[in-house]
Amino acid sequence: MTALALALILAAAFIHASWNFLLKRSGGGNVFVWLFALLSAAIYAPLVAAVVWWREPQFGPIHYALMLASAVVHTGYYMLLDRGYRSGEFSVVYPIARGTGPLITMLAAVLLLHEEPGPVAVGGALLIGAGAFLLTGDPRRLRESGNLHAVGFALLTGCTIATYTMVDKVAVAAFLVPPLVQDWASNLGRVVLMTPLAIRARSELAPTWRRSWKEIVGVAVLSPLSYILVLTAMVFTPVSYVAPAREISILIGALMGAHLLREGDALRKGAAASAMVAGIVCLALG
């Protein structure tokens, strides 16, 4: 992995943990998800228009199919993630969701894209995954803490992460869709797919905006930015390296949960974070 790719991924990790923190703090809900998707589409539209004008990409049916597939999977991702945050602790949901995704992604990359990560990189991916699960604590206590349903949503979220990572990797690397365009099209598709839900809950639109407009704006800006940086790295870096490396965001998210949300147990989370940092070093060396 090059220094540029690592820098992009680490920046994306910090931004990603930050917008997830804002989503958790806001209380979320489908209306919240729809509002920030709509705002994101509006904010990034001029940049997308500039990229299309400058690069003049030639899109065919396969390109639009990949954009639609990404929109569908991302819609499921945001809805499941939101449900997870409304069901349990940030420091439980975020690590499991982010820790499950890269292991599935790396396996899929090897089986479907025929990538061949070296043994050091594989060891790094496993360290990151193990550290993520260590952050959740004793599994037997999940039911007692009320986080059992949240873990279920987190695991499903991890599956969607693996799926959209593979779809978007193919789009930007194999079919040369500009990363900004791919992410924006996915975001616009999510707006369309969730509009019926927003119409059904239209009485909640104004109250949600008044209550959480700062969080909505923050997520609208930061969520696409974090993923655009990741997609840019995937243009010239194997997905089996990118997907696990971006999970350093688990460390940042765990610290946010422990200190800003006062979810505690900083010692265990620090040990788990150390395992993930070691994993990042292995990925960089491998």
pLDDT at 276: 74
- Which position has the higher pLDDT, 186 or 230? 186
d(CA 3, CA 48): 27
**What are the distances in angstroms from CA 165 to CA 46, 59, 69, 223, 239?**
25, 20, 11, 15, 8
147 has a pLDDT exceeding 70: no
Three-state SS string over 2-62 comes to CHHHHHHHHHHHHHHHHHHHHHHHHCCCHHHHHHHHHHHHHHHHHHHHHHHHHHCCCCCHH
Q: Give residue-wise pLDDT tens across range 77-135.
A: 999 999 999 988 887 788 778 777 666 766 777 777 677 777 887 787 788 777 767 76
User: Is the model's pLDDT at 138 over the cut of 80?
Assistant: no
CA distance 95 to 133: 7
The answer, yes or no, to whether residue 274 has pLDDT greater than 80, is no
pLDDT of 182 higher than 80: yes
Distance (Å, whole) CA 181 – CA 188: 10
Torsion region of 264: left, alpha or beta (phi above 0 gives left; psi -120 to 50 gives alpha): left
Would you say residue 141 has pLDDT above 70? no
Q: At residue 144, does pLDDT exceed 70?
A: no
Question: Would you say residue 35 has pLDDT above 90?
Answer: yes
Between the two ends of the chain, the Cα-to-Cα distance in Å is 7
Cβ–Cβ contacts within 10 Å for residue 274, how many? 14
Considering only residues 256 and 269, tell me which one the structure prediction assigns the higher pLDDT. 256
Predicted local distance difference test score (pLDDT) of residue 151: 81
Q: What does the mean pLDDT of the chain come to? A: 84
Instruction: For residues 147-164, give the mean pLDDT.
Output: 85
Given this model, what pLDDT does residue 80 score? 95
The pLDDT, as a whole number, for residue 135 is: 65
The structural domain count of the chain equals: 1
Q: Which residue range forms the structural domain that includes residue 178?
A: 3-285
What is the model's pLDDT at position 284? 61
pLDDT at residue 142 tops 70: no
* Residue 279 pLDDT greater than 80, yes or no: no
What's the pTM? 0.84
**pLDDT value at residue 230:** 86
